[in-house]
Structure formats: C-alpha cells, structure tokens
A and B are shown apart, each in its own frame.
Chain A
Amino acid sequence: MSATIGKKAGVVVTFFFIVLTALAMSSHKALSMSNEDCLECHGDEDLTREADDSSVYVNAEVLAKSVHADEECVSCHQDADTEDEHPPKLKRVNCAECHDDIGAIYEKSIHGKARSRGDALAPYCSSCHGTHDILPPNDPKSTVYVTNIPLTCGRCHREGSPMTKTHEDIDQHNVLKNFSMSMHGKGLLKSGLIVAAVCTSCHTSHNVRPHTDPESSTNPKNVAKTCMHCHANIENTHRKVIRKSLWEKEPHKIPSCIECHQPHEQSKIGYQGKLSDAYCLKCHSNPNLVMPDEEGGVKSLYVDTDEYDEFRGTLHKKNKIACVKCHSNMDSARDPVCRGSGPVDCSACHPQQSDIYAKSIHGKLLAELDPNAPGCTDCHGKHNNMSKANPDSPINPINIPNLCGACHQDGKKAAVRIKGGERKIVATYSMSIHGKGLVKSGLLVSATCASCHTGHSILPPSDAESTVNRNHVSDTCETCHYGVARKIQQSIHNPPVGADTSRFPICSDCHSAHGAARVSGATFRKQQASECEKCHEEQVETYRESYHGKASMLAGGERAAQCSDCHGSHTILAATDPDSTLAGLNAVKTCRKCHPGANLSFTTYRTHATHGDKKRNPDMYYAFWSMTSLLLGTFSLFGLHTLLWFPRSFKERMKMIRKAREQKK
C-alpha cells in the first residue's frame, strides 16, 4: 500500500515539475515537448481522460514499430506542444499536414464529403489506417494490407453496421458476402492470391466516389479502365461475345464490364446498357408476336412479364439479369437486332454445369444432334427457371420424378432409344419407399431420380463413371444411407481387399433400384428369398421346402420367417462365424424372436435340410422313403383291388337294374 501511495505521490511531484518546466519554457514556439515528455504520462496504462474516462495510454512499443516511429508526438498532436498543461481534449490530428496530396483527394471523395457534412459515421484517415499503430501497407498486419482490406471496408460496409443502418442510399447488400463468392474474393480468400482485386482495387483507396459521379473509378464510363488495370487485352477474350469491329468502330456500343459481370459477384450478370429490357419488351410484350418454326407452324415469342409473370420467383429475375445477357447474340446490323439470334447458351454464365452436362449422356446425345436429347431448358425451364428450393420449380425434388418421367417412360422420348430394362420407372418409383416418402409423405430428403443419377452428370449404368455403375451404386446409396454402409463393411458381403467385387452384392442386388420397398413391408419381405436366390440358389431352394419357406409363399407369407430374420441383413455373417446370428447361443436368441420358448435343443432343427440329401440327413432320407414305400404299397394294393372290383361292380349294377325292370313288369 505504502509503495503505491509513494508511487502516486512521485507521479504528482513529477507532474508539477513538468508543468513548472513547461511554464519556464513557454516562450519557445518550436517543438519543445519530446516523446519522452509525453510518455511520462501517456506511458501509464491506467491514464484516462477526465471527461469520459477513455484511455489516453500510448503504447510506446507499438508506436516504435509504426511508420511514424521517427516522428515526434507533437508533430501530429500540435496543440499538445505547449509548456502549459495541454487542453483536456486535443484536436483531431490532421494528417493532411504532411499528406496534403492524399488529403486533397480525400476531401473530394464520398468519405471526405460526408465528413465535411458533419456525418458522424464518415471515416477519417484513422478509421482505416489506425492511429499510433499505423503500419506500412505491405505489412501483412496492416489494416490496409491487401488481404485485410475487405475486412477493413467491411467494418462499415456490412449488414447491421451503424453505417448501413442509417445510410439506406448505399444500397449494395451483402457486399462482403458477394465479394467473397466472386472470382476476386475466391482468389483472395481461398487461393490467397494477393494480386486479386479487393475493394480498393476498383474503388480506389482515397478517391472513393459514388458510381454516379463521372469522376468515379466505378462510373460505367470508367469501369473498363479500372478493370483493365489488371485485365489487359480484354477485347481478345471477348471476341465470342462482342464482334471485334465494334471495339474499333463503335466503342460506345460496347457494354462496360460490369454490365455483364456484376461488380461484387462476377458470376451473376446485369445489363443496363442500350439494349434494355424495356427495349426488348416493346415487341415481346405483344401476346400475338410469333415467328415461323421448323415444322411449318408458328411459335410464340411473347414474354409475359405482367399477369402471369413467367420470371416470378426465378433467380434470374432476383439478380436482375437483363434479356440480352442470355440472348446475347444481338446485332445492330440486323432488324430487329434479335433476328436469328439462336438459342441461349447457358454455358456463358454456368460453365461448370455445362462442362459436366457435356460429358453426360444427355450432353453427348445433344452434341450428336439427337432431337430427343434434353438441353438445359428442358429441365430448368426457359424464362421461368427457378431455384430448386422453390416448390414450383420443375427441379424441386417434389417435381423431379414427373420431370424425368416426361421422357423416361414407355412411349415417351427416352423409350425410343432404350430397349429392354424397366418399362414403368416412374410408376415403380412412386410405389417404392423413396417414391412414397417423396409423394405421399412430402419428404424432400427422399431420394429422387437426381439423387442417384445426379442432375447434370447422368450416365448409363454401363459407363464406368456413372453413379449407378455397378462399382459405384453402393457409394451412391451411402451418401444418404451411411449407417448401413458401415454395417455392410462388417458383414460377409463386404468384399475383402483384392477380391473380385462382382461376386459380392451391391445395394441394388437386394433392394430393387427403382422399386426399393420398405424392408418391413409385405412386398419386400415376400421378395426377399428371390433376391437372395440370385446368389444362394441351393439355400433358397431348401428354404422353400421348409415350413418357413412354404408358409412364406402363401397369402400373408410375409409374416413367416424370411432369410434376413434368421441370418440378419446388413450385418450378415457366415452361419459358421461365431459372431453370426445362428452360432451357438446366438441361435437361441434368434429363434426366440418368433418362438419365445426356444431352447438350445430347439435350435438343432435343421431349417434347410431336405430328405434328398442322404449324406447329410440319412435319417430324413430313410424316413421319407419308408413313408413313400408305405404309400406306394397301400395304393398299389388297393388300386389293384379297385381295378378288379370295378367291372364286377358294374355288372352287379346292371343286374340290379334288370331285376328292378322285371319287378316293374
């Protein structure tokens, strides 16, 4: 205690000494306060401002590492350079004293103007650069180091920040999120490319202006220039989209980069240039607009944006995609500009999906110009393409079976090509556990066509790459039925390393692919023996001679013991395996599932034994043949007796009839 009092007293004495010294030197206008002088007080971590209790502690170590390490405190805090006690609240440091060029730029920027306006939320130099801890921009710890810029800007430019709450005119939502999803953001954040564009690459650091400002780097007129800081020779890469001559002859007709590549999420596109939607709709809002089709008829070119707005709920509308972004093949040399523009090429914006699709059976057939092959719009719709999360979307799980069934059904397009195999896939599917789950119970997690066959990379099962190829089926099922897959790995059905996998069952060998039934249901149970029979022919044959097997063939037979009731299903082991359900005491437990009083002696009943197997079951063999001999003997004896009796009995009858006639006479 006394030591602390002593220390405090020392501070007070020192303070008075400093004040006296300062007074004595007050005639000196030049820098007279050294950093040591300032840190005498400001080096104390507990030093606070009297007015609001805020800390005025200055960490000398941090300051020493900053770019301003060699500067005197009073170089920036000029009003503290006084021999008297400096004012309790110092003026804000004016960085422009030294950085006058940047200060001038800043003054004209949106940030600077807001500050002049007295906007309390307008950023000062220190808001981005910091104060005593300013580091050079190439120091990875600096707040303005390239990787830190999105976070620094995002302190204000993000949802829920005081700035976005009060400045509704700054309308870009999800700026940070969109940036991180963009090519630039992924480059920076995922791939760690420090050359990737960040906020300041396009907006500049100090000359940040609204894009409506003609001086702004993001004004449509300047965008190309801004982008070309990094993207040189851009015309070469855009030849497919924009005719080369335009670049030279009519550069004003070339859309600016951001008209196609949305600023913060490049994969989405906006087009607000000359060919506006309003321009297109001048003609296409007419319900009677038609053009001749290939079959000699006409096809409507009407685009409904009003009553039944076909874009309603679509992602393209949500992202304000302009008509000409998809219908890109416009040409001012033609009248109208859209004449003969041909079909939309989705791959311009969806290159990944297009690549995958091109390798699929659908894509290959389309490449071969098969008229029945589906393109993007056949599944996704044209103007009304929606996110698959939308229940109205044809690719929402609820609608997928009917979507695929439109072709994959007897008499429909796909049936033209596919011979044999299953004929009523959709009907079979809708009766399956997956189909019932989806259609009856409305479970969106139920497997649909696309769950197993995938959406874009559909391949026939014969293709080694197909998700439904024999070697991949179990992996495909495992994506949902992971627990089952783990059980199989413990079972005898799991192929050991190096084994011939074709000799081991895959999921669909036991569970029909399209008609997969609930395993506790009658359909599955009554089918089970036939499924096992594919490999275990002899065992199923002998099962069918047993009581269980015979009962299971009759009505209600699903209640009789099926293969899996005794052998187990996914965890199945050889009956000789000590861990199997049929080994030793396990068998008692297994039998007790249906025969509660079963004991060890009961389990010696030979479920698969037949009288035909003399070697293994001599007792049954002899029992059967004794009984059969008895049968044959009895029937032979009495058969002969009957044969002899019949003619005699016939004569007797005739005699009786004659006698009756005589009596009548």
Chain B
Amino acid sequence: MSKTETVYVQRFNVFARVLHLTVIISFLTLALTGMALKFADEPWAGAIAGFFGSFRVLGILHRIGAVLTFGYFFFHFILIFQNWRKSDKSFVGFIIDNTIGMVPNLQDAREIGQTIKWFVGKGPRPRYGRWTYWEKFDYFAVFWGVAVIGLTGLCLWFPTWVTQYIPGSWLNIATIIHSDEALLATGFIFTIHFFNTHIRPEKWPLDRVIFTGSVTLEELKHERPREYEMLVKEGRLDDVIVDKPPTWLVVFAYVFGFAALTIGMGLVFLIMYTIFQRTFG
C-alpha cells in the first residue's frame, strides 16, 4: 500500500479535542502552581514561584485552572450526550456497551487477562474496542479526581464560608486529601498516562491523535479491531473517513504535545526526586 492511499478515520471530533486541550492547559497549570506550594521549601518550587513573581500569582493561576477544570467537567457531559445521540442505543445501553461504552464491564475484565498473557508472550494482542480498560481507568481517574480535588479545593478556596457549615479542623483533612490526591493525579498522568499513550515504544515519541483527531485505517484495524468491525457491521465506516490532517495541525500537535510532555515529565521527575530524597536521603 502506497502513501497516497492512506485512509484516515476520525477518532475524536473537534469538541473532544478542544476539551482535552483545556484539560492539558488547566492540569499543567494546577500541577505546576500546586506542587510549587506543596514542595515550597525545594529550590525548584522557589524557581516556579520566582518565575511567576509571587505565591499570590500562583494562587490566582491555580484558581483559574480550577475554574477551567469545573468548566471541562461540565462540558464533557455534553460530549457524552452527543455521542449517545449518534448511537442508536438507550443511554444505559450506550454507556455499558462492550465496544463504545465508557463503563468498565466484563469484556474489560477478560481483556485485562488477555493483555497480561500478551505481555508475557502467552497470547495474541487482545482485540480491543473503542476504549481499552486503561483508557477507561484514565477517564474515571480524572472523573473521580475532579470531584475529590475539586470539592476539597473549594473548601480551601472559601474557608470562611465552608466553616459556617463544617468545623475548621476539617480543613486540615481537606488539605491532606486535596494535596495527596493531587500528587496521585499528577504522578499518574505524567507517568502512567504518558507511557500508556505516548512514550511506549509502539507510540514513541507521541501519539498525535488527541490533537489531529484522526488515525489511519491501518492503525484502527490493528489497535481497535472490535471498533473497526463494529463500524463495518453498522456500515458507518464511510461516515468516519476524513481527510489527511493538515500539516499545520500536525506541527501544532508535535510542538504543543512535546511541550506538555516535557513540562509534565520535568515536574514529575522533580517530585519523584524530592520524595526519594526525603524518604531515603
């Protein structure tokens, strides 16, 4: 097959891609500003605060990041609603569907087993659907994270208001939960998510799909055969075939993607180094 015949299929529409762009920007902002405070006595934290001028600027940026987060959390429900309307399923049927549903199901449990076998060379590559189990975990990690970090964050943002309803001593707990859940989120996204999605050799150095929105038909067949089969079966394959992504978008994908990856991995390295030093140093 020659290059001219490469067929592209859409995986993420513009709305989804813009949402993820918002996630990247807000998450990096929240992580950088929040971690600078959490590890305030480290020189790198001082450098971050110094770059922005003052811890008060960090606080303002952190709150802007929070507002963006609440924003994309709300708007992604619209995305789910749109996707549900495109399918001909009931809402519950849509979200628990084996191939396109977001909710983990038995098929995912089976695929975990198959994946481990595949990893150790005891089986073939599992025939994943539109969402693999680790992608579903990423999704629910963010879903859960926004809820937990968001709620505790609101308590810390409006302490005098919330203490009208809860004791001030609970803010100590809120601080711990907010901070450690954030450490989990940051650590997870900047290591596990980055590896699973971009850094693992098959995708190295970057999977641009979240920026360009499309994958080749070959990729789709290889990586998500059940989704491909579903599209063929439902006769919707032609609907998702799109043009080759424009060069500018590809360039943007690499520039922005690498920048985000660099910042994220840099930060997670500093955090890991600091924790390692504190634990064993």
**With contacts A549-B40, A554-B37 known, what are 15 further pairs, Cβ within 8 A?**
A547-B37, A554-B46, A559-B54, A559-B55, A598-B160, A598-B163, A599-B160, A599-B164, A603-B168, A605-B159, A605-B163, A624-B180, A630-B184, A642-B191, A646-B200
Stretch at the interface among B14-22, B74-82, B118-126: B118-126
| Residue interface bits A527-570, CB-to-B below 8 A is 1, else 0 | 00000000000000000100101110111110110000000000
- One digit per residue, 1 when the CB lies within 8 angstroms of any chain A CB and 0 when it does not, for chain B 156-186 equals 1001110110111101110111001101100
Instruction: Tell me whether B192 and A642 are in contact (CB under 8 A).
Output: yes
- Report the separation of the CA atoms of residues A556 and B54 in the bound assembly, to the nearest whole angstrom: 5
Closest to B192 in A: A638
Q: How long is the Cα–Cα vector from A526 to B173 in the complex, in angstroms?
A: 27
Q: Say yes or no for A55: interface residue by CB 8 A criterion.
A: no
B38 within 8 A of A: yes
Shortest Cβ gap from A144 to chain B (Å): 81
B202 within 8 A of A: yes
A-B contact count (CB 8 A): 143
The answer to whether A641 and B201 have CB atoms under 8 Å apart is no
* Chain A residues, CB < 8 A from B49: 554-556
Whether, in the assembled complex, A237 has its beta carbon less than 8 Å from a beta carbon of chain B, the answer is: no
- Contact for A631 among B1, B120, B180, CB less than 8 A: B180
**A628 at interface by CB-CB < 8 Å:** yes
Tell me how many residues of B have a C-beta within 8 Å of chain A.
Answer: 54
Whether the Cβ atoms of A648 and B163 lie closer than 8 Å is no
Smallest CB-CB separation from B187: which chain A residue? A635
Q: List 15 A-B contacts (CB under 8 A).
A: A547-B175, A554-B50, A554-B54, A556-B54, A602-B163, A605-B159, A605-B163, A606-B169, A620-B172, A634-B184, A642-B195, A644-B119, A646-B200, A648-B119, A649-B201
CB distance from A583 to the nearest CB of B (A): 16
Contacting residues, chain B, for A648 (C-beta < 8 A): 118-121
- State whether the Cβ of B249 lies closer than 8 Å to any Cβ in chain A: no
Alpha-carbon distance A638/B120, docked complex (angstroms):
16
Q: Mark A601-615, 1 if CB is under 8 A from B, else 0.
A: 111111001010000
User: In the complex, how many angstroms separate the beta carbon of B62 from the nearest chain A beta carbon?
Assistant: 12
Contact A555-B50, Cβ < 8 Å, known A645-B200, A646-B201: yes
Q: Which of B118, B196, B202 contacts A656 (CB 8 A)?
A: B202
Residues of A within 8 A of B (CB): 544, 547, 549-551, 553-557, 559-560, 595-599, 601-606, 609, 611, 617, 619-620, 623-624, 627-628, 630-631, 634-635, 638-639, 641-642, 644-650, 652-653, 656, 663
Verify B56–A559 contact, CB threshold 8 A. yes
Write out the residue numbers on chain A whose beta carbons fall within 8 Å of the beta carbon of B118.
Answer: 648
Residues from chain A with a CB closer than 8 A to the CB of B201 are: 646, 649-650, 652-653
CB-based contact A605/B184 at 8 Å? no
Chain B positions within 8 Å of A547 at CB level? 37, 156, 175
Is B134 within 8 A of A551, CB to CB?
Answer: no
**Chain A, Cβ-Cβ closest to B45:** A554
